[in-house]
Amino acid sequence: MSNIFHKEDFSKVLAKHGMILQEHQLRQFEEYASMLIEWNQKINLTAITDPDEIYEKHFLDSILPSFDMSIQGSFCDVGAGAGFPGIPLKIIYPELELTIVETLGKRITFLNALCDKLKLKGVACVHERAEVYAKDHRESFDIVSARAVANLPLLSELCIPLVKKQGSFLALKGANGDEEYALAEKAIRLLGCEMKQRDVHTLSDGSQRINFVFVKTRPTPKKYPRPFAQMKKNPL
C-alpha cells in the first residue's frame, strides 16, 4: 500500500480545506488518541488502536462532513460510542453546542472523562436511548448525526425526529451507503426530510466514505419514533 496515512498527515489534510489547527487543538487530538487506547483496554470502545489509523479512520472520518457543509449551532450525535463524529467536530469548532446521546453507561463514563481532560465546554453527554430522548427533545437540533450506529432506515427513525425544521440529518456511511439509501428513501421522506447532498471521500486504503445530508422540510409525524423493538421488527 503506497499511500499510507500517518498521523502527521492529519493537520495537512485539514489545512488543505482551510482548517489550520492551533497548538492546543493538536494537543487535544493527541490526548484523545491516548485516552482512547488506554480506556479501550478496560472497556470496548474501538477495534482501531493504531495511532495512525485512529487519526484517519476516527478523527479525519468524523471531520470529513465539514469539508462539504457548514457545522454550527446545536449538534446532536446519536449513539456516539467513543465520541465520533461529535467530539472531533467540537475540537475543530469550539462554538458548537454538542449533545451526545449514548445508551451504554460505560461509554458515557469515558466521554465525561474525555470532556474533562480536553477541557471541552458546551458538551452534554446523555445516558439515554435515542427514541426515548426524542420524546422530550423533538425538533430541537440544527444538525443530528450518527456514524456506524445502524442501517439507514432504522437510523432515520432514530435521528430525524430530533432535527429542527430546516435543520439537517447527517448520516456518515461506508461504501454500501447508496444501497442503504435506496432502502431508506421512502422512510426519510415520510419522516420529513429530503436529500440535500451526497459527498464521497476515499481514505488511504481505498475504502470509501459516503456522507449524506438530508434537510428537514416538514415536521416528523408525531407517532415517530416508535419503540425500538417495533422499529427493528417493521422498519419503515
Q: Which of 39, 52, 216 is nearest to 143 (CA)?
A: 216
C-alpha cell at 17: 480545506
Q: 226 among the known binding-site residues?
A: no
Does the annotation place 59 within a ligand binding site? no
Spatial distance between the Cα atoms of 26 and 12, rounded to a whole number of angstroms:
12
Residue 130 marked ligand-binding: yes
Q: Tell me if 212 is assigned to a ligand binding site.
A: no
Which 3 state secondary structure label does DSSP give 73? coil
Q: Which uninterrupted H or E stretch holds 134?
A: helix 130-136
Q: Which amino acid is at 173?
A: K
Residue pair 86/98 in contact by the 8 Å Cβ criterion: yes
C-alpha cell at 235: 422498519
175 is in an annotated binding site: no
Cα R_g (the chain), whole angstroms: 17
Q: How far apart are CA 151 and CA 219, in angstroms?
A: 22
**DSSP string of 85-137, one letter each residue:** THHHHHHH-TT-EEEEEES-HHHHHHHHHHHHHTT--SEEEEES-HHHHHHHS
Contact 127, 101 (CB under 8 A): no
> Would you list which residues are annotated within the binding site for S-adenosyl-L-methionine?
79, 84, 130-131, 147
> Would you list which residues are annotated within the binding site?
79, 84, 130-131, 147
